[in-house]
């Protein structure tokens, strides 16, 4: 049956094809429309809000991306994506839905990024916003490239109701599933409150900008309503609090520019994914460089402290060390460096803070760091000077058993090359925990100043010779005599060396060379574990 | 000739003496204290003898122990070096009594000349001018007040038994006399074990000129010209040179003749130095004192006269005759010495202690370095803060200064604060270059260890170029390291050959354009419209020194790298420079200004434990980083350092007291000026 055309069809059929001139005009209109649309979106929330953002000392979402990535390398996704519009009669949609997403390069290597735009609805997270983030995350996991999130958001977009919550869930799920596959980095560059905090919390490293960023689950208003205490944003969740007290932030930087530079610096230490090795950066620091200063680092008086960072700076290439959580649990030092060009993860007790003791925070800090290194194929170097676990009810009630177990578990689980150097004290359980031979370390060296024993000389003498000391005419003298005897016999690295628990007692000056030689032969280390879904780390 | 000698000293002078002994085939015995058990000087010597505890009284001042050691080790002579027992007549006497040769003048001469008052009386008789002052020792304030009226203000208090300028106090008016007397006596008691002092007129703007003399056992006396030691801080010399710009041939002859006359009349033997003060306004000079030993600054004389003073000392002590006559003595060029000390010029040259973690010097023509340190050396409170002496020689004063400056530009020391850049700044000050010196030079031209004059623009350009090249080439290296991880698609891109950077210090800002020349390691750099041609070395990023050829001339820099900022020093000018890309710079002005954090005025306990000792007293001036309290915790003793500069206002704890984390140990009255970022980098 022949269809009858409508009036319009007939009219159009009759219409002449456009002249060449008209065709050009038409296509220019299309280009112009695209251009307008792009320009509109690029402006984000508009000039006024951008100025407001600047006044607060914050850069815009796009400026941040420009700084983060190599010049001109950014490729944007979903520029034109908008939300469906929400309930409560708010049908309006917003350009880009408050987030800029895409990929680009850092020193030539691809990374994915999303940058929340505070000028668009306060960077609030709605469905489209979340979908955009999910899209880059999916890409990042698929191609094995790091993802860097620049967070500056007021939180969930309330108008979108449960959709907004679902959207958070989508991101959390991706964060957790991408964990250990690609490095995930979060920069908090504005507010990050409520449920929103859990996305950064699930990533590997959190950067915070001083004075302009804060993170908390419930804000000062709620705190005041519920507990009747007044508290500022800074005291509740400022960068300083999270860097020093809570340990939530791994790095804090004074401003946006420095923060983004530091991200680039961190990324340069890391592989792009768990199938790669970290890049090799040759600072032409001789592998065989010795440092006589190390021979004298450990003071003759065993009760005196010293700064472990002297040893760290000395053994690493170019004394370059990127410390993770430098202000938190300072009794343990964690961070990245390079040896012979290869990225290594360094875990060291710090005798100048709390005598380098292991406590709850230190155990947590180091355990998480060890697991990161292991999963991204970064060899672990451990410098040990630990008098033991921190005694006292505060620690016991705080769960030192649980927390200490995390570090123990993390080391045992690690299959990357593992090297330990015992610098001085290595007592009791803490000795075992600090990457000892017994828990699977590959190479264990000791300096001649090492003290490896179950407990300190005095304590040991008190236990072993209790009766003798009690019955002695001069208990003090007997104790000191026995203490010295114990020190001579047990408090040195040689007993362990005879057992083979220590592979060699080395000259401190040669530490760098010896570690690098070990790293060289460990390059081919096989890393196999029987199949299982995952272990059950005592969280 | 002597076969074996004991060196009753430590540090650079012990090493310096050993060096000459080795050349002459004389065996050496070094002595050492507990704290010096791994010092360089005992490794250099043929044998070593342990003396005792680190405190000088238990070791380097323990006369019997030293003589005992000399005997056990079968030495023939004892060289006292400078400081310690070098001008102690009892020691010289004891050495001679035990049948050993004391390398220096006889005890009686030391006694006469070592005591300032008897020395003055003695030289006045010889017609040598002496500064107006009171001849007798003073021991009480009442006495001092009466005499002060006679001499007139300003006047100077000076401990009777003194050396190295310790204990000296200048009093501007009678109101300050009492406190000055107390301070002088306190310091004298601590340092020399006596509290008597002298008073004399204080002359403004004086130059310190000294004459090196040598006398053998046969009455022959010669002088080796002058040394000018006007550049002093806290009345102690830090830069010395010979010849002096203030001394012409006539003056040299007059001073030299007087110095020789004094030595001859006093029956002097061996090397000694007669110190004068020169009032440049009228060319008059006065006898100050005679140092009856080898001086710290003797190397400048050695370089200019091409003699080894230690060798001459040993020959004289062996009984040889002087073989050079005054008329044969030839001067060659100019030599300038800078003393490298462990002290903080920004904090009134307060001595600092700690371990040297990095140490590097450059081999530069015409430069001599007398040092006793290496990476790993520990600088303790027990001894002098002098670490090394760097001496530059040249045909002219300008050349000598240039060699010395080059050496100091390349002199890198880490782990503790030193005055390397400070002395370098002095040497490069226009007034110093012009030879316009006085003992007030530092107060006049420096403030808080920094030059009052702004540095020349060109130097700052050099510094900006040096740091930017380091930064740029390191960035390039990072880029190269990531090549295996880059996309292979489209990887064959043209690389850029010109780069723009903005370099910012506290007060300076430079726009730099680096243009890669076709020749490797060669750059054209535009800095604020000035064009420089640079040749770089192969970069070795672990090094802390950089040698660049800028417009055909070699320049050294030493620096400390931070990823975002680089601390750099050149000719004593230091800057912390941040390097920014044009984009970063465009956005930089939006960044919030760093908050000025008021200095912390309480010292909190960092850990639970027990107070062991309190190292300061109420009212004492303290500096940031200075240890205030020691606390025992976890069976370890550790120190709590001051968070700020200021005065101790209140001490809240006692030794033996248990303390908790966060307890306020000490309250401070802080200075208003907050310390800068640079200091952080210093400690880093």
CB contact under 8 A, A354 and B633: yes
Q: Are residues A310 and A322 in the same domain?
A: yes
Distance separating alpha carbons of residues B535 and B550, to the nearest angstrom = 7
Q: How confident is the model at residue B308 (pLDDT cuts 50, 70, 90)?
A: very high
Q: How confident is the model at residue A303 (pLDDT cuts 50, 70, 90)?
A: confident
Q: Are A267 and A106 in contact (CB under 8 A)?
A: yes
Interface check A320 vs B, CB under 8 A: yes
Q: What is the 3-state secondary structure (H, E, C) of A457-526?
A: HHHHHHHHCHHHHHHCCCHHHHHHHHHHHHHHHHCCCHHHHHHCCCCEECCHHHHHHHHHHHHHHHCCCC
- CA angle B509–B515–B520, rounded 5-degree value: 130
Distance separating alpha carbons of residues B329 and B226, to the nearest angstrom = 13
Q: pLDDT tens for residues A32-91? A: 888 888 888 888 888 999 999 999 999 999 999 999 999 999 999 998 888 776 555 555
pLDDT for A92: 67
CB nearest B542 (choices: A271, A283, A293): A283
pLDDT for B147: 85
Concatenating the DSSP letter of every residue in B344-408 gives: EGGGTTEE--EE--EEE----TTEEEEE---TT-EE-TTS--EEEEEEEEESSHHHHHHHHHHHH
CB nearest A257 (choices: B375, B591, B638): B591
Chain A hits for B377, Cβ within 8 Å = 296
CATH number of the domain within which A386 lies:
3.90.226.10
Chain B hits for A57, Cβ within 8 Å = 590-592
Q: What is the mean pLDDT of residues B304-321?
A: 95
Domain membership flag for residue A24: no
Domain interval for residue A480: 457-490
Q: Is B270 left (phi over 0), alpha (psi -120 to 50) or beta?
A: left
Q: Are residues A449 and A478 in the same domain?
A: no
Name the catalytic one among B240, B275, B289, B337: B289
Q: Assess whether pLDDT exceeds 60 at residue A1.
A: no
CB contact under 8 A, A296 and B638: no
Q: Assess whether pLDDT exceeds 60 at residue B681.
A: no
User: How many Cβ atoms from other residues are within 10 Å of residue B125's Cβ?
Assistant: 9
pLDDT for B157: 85
Per-chain mean pLDDT for chain B: 89
Q: Which residue has better confidence, B683 or A214?
A: A214
- CA angle A239–A241–A242, rounded 5-degree value: 65
CB contact under 8 A, B590 and A57: yes
CA-based end-to-end distance of chain B? 51
- Provide the strand spans (E) within B243-323: 270-279, 284-291
Q: Are residues A481 and A499 in the same domain?
A: no
Chain A contact probe: residue of B356, B358, B376 with most A CBs at under 10 A: B376
CB nearest B542 (choices: A109, A285, A352): A285
| Cβ contacts of B272-275, under 8 Å, gap ≥ 24 | B272/B105, B272/B113, B272/B212, B272/B213, B272/B214, B272/B215, B273/B210, B273/B211, B273/B212, B273/B213, B273/B227, B274/B210, B274/B211, B274/B213, B275/B208, B275/B209, B275/B210
Q: What is the mean pLDDT of residues B444-456?
A: 91
Q: Is A368 left (phi over 0), alpha (psi -120 to 50) or beta?
A: alpha
CB contact under 8 A, A313 and B485: no
The CA-based dihedral angle spanning residues B451, B453, B457, B463, taken in that order and rounded to the nearest 10 degrees: 10
pLDDT for B544: 86
Chain B contact probe: residue of A107, A255, A259 with most B CBs at under 10 A: A107
Domain membership flag for residue A44: yes
Q: How confident is the model at residue B512 (pLDDT cuts 50, 70, 90)?
A: very high
Q: Are B43 and B114 in contact (CB under 8 A)?
A: no
Q: pLDDT tens for residues A483-492? A: 888 888 888 9
How many angstroms separate the CA of residue B644 from the nearest CA in chain A? 19
Domain membership flag for residue A29: no
Per-chain mean pLDDT for chain A: 91
How many angstroms separate the CA of residue A365 from the nearest CA in chain B? 19
Q: B102, B12, B3, B110: which is closest to B388 by C-alpha? A: B12
Q: Are B232 and B341 in contact (CB under 8 A)?
A: no
CB contact under 8 A, B590 and A261: no
Q: What is the mean pLDDT of residues A134-153?
A: 97
Q: Are residues A239 and A320 in the same domain?
A: no
Distance separating alpha carbons of residues A342 and A316, to the nearest angstrom = 10
Interface check A66 vs B, CB under 8 A: yes
Q: What DSSP designation does B243 have?
A: S
Domain membership flag for residue A1: no
* A265: its two tokens: 């610096």
CB nearest A59 (choices: B561, B590, B638): B590
Domain membership flag for residue A527: no
Chain A hits for B583, Cβ within 8 Å = 66-67, 71
Q: pLDDT tens for residues B202-238? A: 877 889 999 999 999 999 999 999 999 999 998 889 9
Among A residues 100-159, those touching chain B with beta carbons less than 8 Å apart: 105, 107-110
Q: How confident is the model at residue B621 (pLDDT cuts 50, 70, 90)?
A: confident
Distance separating alpha carbons of residues A159 and A147, to the nearest angstrom = 28
Distance separating alpha carbons of residues B666 and B642, to the nearest angstrom = 9
Q: Are residues A179 and A250 in the same domain?
A: yes
Helix (H) or strand (E) holding A224: helix A220-227
Distance separating alpha carbons of residues B605 and B626, to the nearest angstrom = 15
Q: Are A382 and A434 in contact (CB under 8 A)?
A: yes
CB nearest B634 (choices: A57, A107, A354): A354
Q: Assess whether pLDDT exceeds 60 at residue B682.
A: no
CB contact under 8 A, A354 and B607: yes
CB nearest A293 (choices: B355, B583, B591): B355
Interface check A75 vs B, CB under 8 A: no
pLDDT for A7: 59
How many angstroms separate the CA of residue A14 from the nearest CA in chain B? 50
Q: Assess whether pLDDT exceeds 50 at residue B476.
A: yes
Q: B75, B108, B83, B91: which is closest to B3 by C-alpha? A: B75
Distance separating alpha carbons of residues A515 and B40, to the nearest angstrom = 28
pLDDT for A289: 92
CB nearest A283 (choices: B374, B541, B633): B541
Distance separating alpha carbons of residues A430 and A450, to the nearest angstrom = 14
Concatenating the DSSP letter of every residue in A245-256 gives: II---SEEESSH
Helix (H) or strand (E) holding A374: helix A360-375
Q: How confident is the model at residue B684 (pLDDT cuts 50, 70, 90)?
A: very low
Q: Are residues A480 and A511 in the same domain?
A: no
From the number of C-beta atoms within 10 Å of its C-beta (0-12, 13-18, 19+), residue B369 rates as middle
Chain A contact probe: residue of B39, B542, B659, B684 with most A CBs at under 10 A: B542
From residue A278, alpha-carbon distances to A177, B355, B580 in Å are 21, 34, 27
Chain A CA closest to residue B585 = A257
Domain end call among A267, A301, A318: A267
Chain A hits for B606, Cβ within 8 Å = 353-354
Q: How confident is the model at residue A302 (pLDDT cuts 50, 70, 90)?
A: confident
Q: How confident is the model at residue B110 (pLDDT cuts 50, 70, 90)?
A: very high
User: How many Cβ atoms from other residues are within 10 Å of residue A474's Cβ?
Assistant: 10
Q: In what order do the strands lie in the sheet with B77-79?
A: B47-52, B27-33, B4-7, B77-79, B101-102
Contacts of A164 (CB under 8 A, 6+ apart): A124, A125, A126, A127, A130, A156, A157, A158
Chain B CA closest to residue A273 = B485
Q: A325, A333, A316: which is closest to A281 by C-alpha? A: A316
Domain membership flag for residue A273: no
Q: Are B62 and B45 in contact (CB under 8 A)?
A: no
Chain B hits for A107, Cβ within 8 Å = 475, 478-479, 482
CA-based end-to-end distance of chain A? 74
Percent of the residues in chain A that have a pLDDT greater than 70, as a whole number:
95
Chain B hits for A279, Cβ within 8 Å = 481-482, 484-485
Q: What is the mean pLDDT of residues A213-242?
A: 91
Helices A511-522 & A308-315 angle (0-180, nearest 10): 60
Q: pLDDT tens for residues B64-109? A: 999 999 999 999 999 999 989 999 999 999 999 999 999 999 999 9
CB contact under 8 A, B637 and A304: yes
- Active-site residues of A: which are they? 194-195, 429-430
Q: pLDDT tens for residues B130-182? A: 877 777 788 888 888 888 887 878 888 888 776 656 778 888 888 888 888 88
Q: Assess whether pLDDT exceeds 50 at residue B675.
A: no
Rg for chain A, CA atoms, rounded: 29
Rg for chain B, CA atoms, rounded: 28
Q: What is the mean pLDDT of residues A287-311?
A: 90
Q: Are B163 and B180 in contact (CB under 8 A)?
A: no
Q: How confident is the model at residue B680 (pLDDT cuts 50, 70, 90)?
A: very low
Q: Are residues A243 and A296 in the same domain?
A: no
The 3-state DSSP class for residue B75 equals: coil
pLDDT for B683: 31
Q: What is the mean pLDDT of residues A377-396?
A: 94
Distance separating alpha carbons of residues A344 and A328, to the nearest angstrom = 21
Q: Are residues A434 and A348 in the same domain?
A: yes
Domain membership flag for residue A4: no
Q: Are A486 and A457 in contact (CB under 8 A)?
A: yes
pLDDT for B647: 86
Q: pLDDT tens for residues B367-406? A: 999 999 998 898 988 888 999 999 999 999 999 999 999 9
How many angstroms separate the CA of residue B28 from the nearest CA in chain A? 25
Q: Report the predicted TM-score, pTM, of the whole model to 2 decimal places.
A: 0.86
Split into its structural domains, chain A has a count of: 3
* B612: its two tokens: 């062991």
Q: pLDDT tens for residues B421-434? A: 999 999 999 999 99
Up-side HSE of residue B20: CA atoms within 13 Å toward CB? Answer: 22
Chain A CA closest to residue B580 = A257
Q: Assess whether pLDDT exceeds 90 at residue B306.
A: yes
Q: Are residues A252 and A263 in the same domain?
A: yes
Q: Are residues A195 and A314 in the same domain?
A: no
CB contact under 8 A, B540 and A285: yes
CB contact under 8 A, A271 and B485: yes
Distance separating alpha carbons of residues B636 and A387, to the nearest angstrom = 9
Q: Are B41 and B10 in contact (CB under 8 A)?
A: yes
Q: Are residues A378 and A486 in the same domain?
A: no
pLDDT for A91: 55
Q: What is the mean pLDDT of residues A163-182?
A: 95
CB contact under 8 A, B357 and A109: no
CB contact under 8 A, B478 and A281: yes
Domain membership flag for residue A18: no
Chain B hits for A51, Cβ within 8 Å = none
Interface check A27 vs B, CB under 8 A: no
Chain B hits for A261, Cβ within 8 Å = 563-564, 584
pLDDT for B134: 74
Distance separating alpha carbons of residues A204 and A370, to the nearest angstrom = 12
Q: A309, A62, A58: which is closest to A208 by C-alpha? A: A58
Helices B177-192 & B141-151 angle (0-180, nearest 10): 120
* Backbone phi, psi, residue B502, to 5°: -110, 130
Any catalytic annotation for residue B289? yes
Q: Are residues A223 and A152 in the same domain?
A: yes
Interface check A240 vs B, CB under 8 A: no
CB nearest A109 (choices: B376, B485, B540): B485
């Amino acid at each position: 049956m022949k269809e009858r055309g409508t009036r319009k069809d007939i009219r159009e059929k009759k219409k002449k094809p456009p002249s060449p001139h008209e065709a050009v005009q038409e296509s220019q209109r299309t280009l112009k429309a695209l251009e307008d649309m792009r320009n509109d979106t690029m402006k984000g929330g508009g000039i006024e809000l951008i100025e407001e953002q600047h006044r607060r000392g914050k850069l815009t979402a796009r400026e941040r991306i420009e700084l983060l990535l190599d010049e001109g390398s950014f490729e944007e996704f979903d520029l034109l994506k908008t939300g469906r519009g929400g309930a409560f009669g708010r049908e309006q949609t917003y350009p880009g839905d408050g987030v800029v997403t895409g990929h680009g390069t850092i020193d030539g290597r691809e990374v994915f990024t999303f940058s929340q735009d505070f000028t668009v609805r306060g960077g609030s997270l709605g469905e489209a916003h979340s979908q955009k983030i999910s899209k880059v995350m999916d890409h990042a996991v698929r191609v094995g490239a790091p993802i860097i999130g620049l967070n500056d958001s007021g939180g969930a977009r309330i108008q979108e109701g449960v959709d907004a919550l679902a959207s958070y869930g989508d991101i959390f799920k991706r964060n957790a599933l991408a964990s250990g596959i690609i490095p995930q980095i979060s920069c908090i560059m504005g507010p990050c409150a409520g449920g929103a905090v859990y996305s950064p919390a699930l990533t590997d490293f959190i950067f915070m900008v001083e004075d302009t960023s804060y993170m908390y689950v419930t804000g000062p208003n709620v705190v005041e309503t519920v507990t009747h205490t007044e508290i500022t944003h800074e005291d509740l969740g400022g960068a300083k609090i999270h860097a020093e007290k809570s340990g939530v932030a791994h790095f804090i930087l004074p401003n946006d520019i420095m923060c983004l530079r530091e991200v680039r610096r961190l990324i340069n230490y890391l592989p792009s994914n768990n199938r790669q090795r970290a890049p090799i950066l040759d600072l032409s620091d001789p592998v065989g460089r010795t440092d006589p200063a190390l021979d004298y680092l450990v003071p003759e008086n065993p009760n005196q402290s010293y700064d472990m960072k002297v040893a760290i700076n000395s053994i690493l290439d170019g004394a370059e060390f990127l410390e993770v959580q430098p202000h938190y649990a300072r009794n343990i030092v964690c961070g990245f460096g390079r040896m012979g060009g290869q990225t290594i993860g360094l875990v060291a007790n710090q005798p100048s803070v709390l005598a380098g003791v292991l406590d709850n925070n230190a155990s947590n800090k180091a355990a998480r760091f060890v697991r990161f290194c292991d999963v991204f194929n970064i060899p672990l170097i451990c410098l040990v000077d630990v008098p033991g676990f921190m005694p006292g009810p505060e620690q016991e009630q705080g769960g030192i058993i649980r927390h200490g177990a995390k570090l123990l578990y993390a080391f045992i689980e690690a299959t990357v090359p593992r090297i330990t150097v015992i610098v001085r004290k290595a007592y009791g359980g803490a000795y075992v925990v600090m990457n000892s031979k017994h828990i699977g370390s590959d190479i264990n060296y000791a300096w001649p100043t090492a003290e490896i024993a179950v407990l300190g000389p005095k304590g040991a003498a008190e236990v072993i010779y209790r009766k003798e000391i009690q019955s002695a005419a001069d208990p003090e003298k007997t104790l000191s005599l026995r203490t010295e005897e114990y020190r001579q016999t047990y408090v040195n690295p040689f007993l362990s060396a005879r057992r083979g628990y220590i592979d060699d007692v080395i000259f401190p000056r040669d530490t760098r060379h010896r570690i690098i030689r070990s790293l060289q032969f460990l390059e081919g280390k096989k890393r196999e574990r029987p199949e299982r879904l995952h272990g059950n780390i005592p969280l | 000739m002597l076969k074996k000698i004991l060196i009753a000293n430590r540090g650079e002078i012990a090493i310096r003496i050993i060096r000459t002994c080795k050349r002459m085939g004389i065996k050496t015995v070094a002595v050492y204290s507990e704290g010096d058990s791994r010092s360089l000087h005992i490794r250099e010597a043929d044998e070593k003898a342990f003396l005792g505890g680190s405190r000088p009284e238990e070791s380097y001042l323990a006369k019997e122990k030293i003589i005992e050691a000399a005997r056990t080790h079968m030495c023939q002579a004892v060289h006292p070096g400078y400081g310690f027992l070098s001008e102690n007549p009892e020691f010289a006497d004891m050495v001679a009594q035990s049948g050993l040769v004391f390398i220096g003048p006889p005890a009686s001469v030391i006694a006469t000349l070592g005591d300032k008052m008897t020395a003055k009386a003695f030289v006045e008789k010889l017609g040598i001018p002496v500064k107006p002052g009171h001849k007798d020792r003073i021991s009480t304030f009442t006495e001092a007040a009466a005499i002060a009226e006679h001499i007139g203000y300003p006047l100077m208090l000076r401990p009777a038994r003194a050396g190295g300028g310790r204990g000296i106090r200048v009093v501007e008016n009678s109101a300050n006399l009492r406190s000055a007397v107390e301070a002088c006596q306190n310091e004298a008691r601590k340092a020399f074990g006596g509290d008597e002092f002298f008073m004399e007129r204080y002359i403004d703007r004086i130059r310190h000129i000294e004459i090196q003399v040598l006398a053998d056992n046969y009455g022959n006396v010669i002088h080796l010209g002058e040394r000018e030691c006007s550049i002093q801080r806290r009345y102690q010399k830090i830069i010395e040179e010979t010849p002096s710009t203030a001394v012409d041939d006539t003056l040299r002859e007059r001073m030299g003749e007087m110095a020789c006359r004094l030595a001859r009349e006093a029956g002097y033997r061996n090397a000694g130095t007669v110190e004068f003060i020169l009032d440049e306004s009228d060319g008059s000079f006065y006898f100050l004192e005679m140092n009856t030993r080898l001086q710290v600054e003797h190397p400048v004389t050695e370089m200019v006269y091409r003699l080894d003073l230690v060798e001459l000392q040993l020959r004289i002590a062996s009984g040889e005759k002087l073989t050079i006559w005054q008329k044969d003595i030839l001067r060659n060029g100019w030599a300038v010495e800078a003393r490298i000390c462990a002290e903080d010029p920004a904090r009134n040259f307060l001595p600092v202690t700690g371990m040297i973690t990095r140490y590097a010097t450059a081999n530069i023509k015409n430069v001599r370095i007398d040092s006793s340190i290496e990476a790993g050396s520990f600088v303790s409170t027990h001894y002098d803060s002098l670490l090394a002496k760097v001496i530059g020689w040249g045909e002219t004063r300008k050349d000598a200064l240039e060699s010395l400056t080059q050496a100091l530009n390349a002199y890198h020391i880490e782990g503790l604060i030193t005055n390397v850049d400070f002395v370098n700044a002095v040497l490069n000050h226009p007034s110093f270059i012009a030879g316009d010196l006085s003992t007030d030079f530092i107060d006049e031209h420096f403030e808080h260890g920094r030059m009052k004059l702004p540095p020349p623009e060109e130097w700052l350009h050099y510094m900006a170029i040096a740091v930017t090249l380091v930064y740029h080439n390191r960035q390039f290296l990072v880029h190269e390291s990531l090549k295996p991880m880059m996309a292979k698609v489209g990887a064959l891109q043209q690389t850029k050959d010109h780069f723009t950077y903005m370099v910012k210090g506290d007060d300076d800002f430079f726009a730099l354009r680096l243009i890669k020349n076709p020749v490797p390691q060669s750059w054209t750099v535009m800095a604020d419209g000035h064009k420089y041609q640079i040749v770089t070395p192969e970069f070795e990023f672990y090094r802390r020194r950089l040698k660049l050829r800028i417009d055909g001339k070699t320049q050294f820099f030493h620096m400390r790298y931070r990823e975002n900022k680089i601390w750099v020093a050149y000719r004593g000018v230091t800057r912390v420079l941040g390097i920014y890309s044009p984009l970063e710079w465009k956005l930089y002005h939006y960044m919030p200004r760093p908050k000025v954090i008021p200095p912390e005025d309480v010292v909190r306990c960092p850990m639970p434990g027990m107070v062991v000792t309190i190292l300061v007293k109420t009212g004492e001036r303290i500096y940031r980083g200075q240890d205030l309290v020691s606390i025992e915790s976890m069976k370890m003793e550790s120190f709590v350092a001051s968070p700020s500069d200021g005065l101790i206002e209140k001490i809240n704890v006692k030794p033996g007291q248990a303390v908790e984390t966060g307890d306020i140990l000490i309250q401070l009255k802080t200075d208003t000026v907050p310390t800068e970022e640079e200091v952080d980098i210093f400690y880093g």
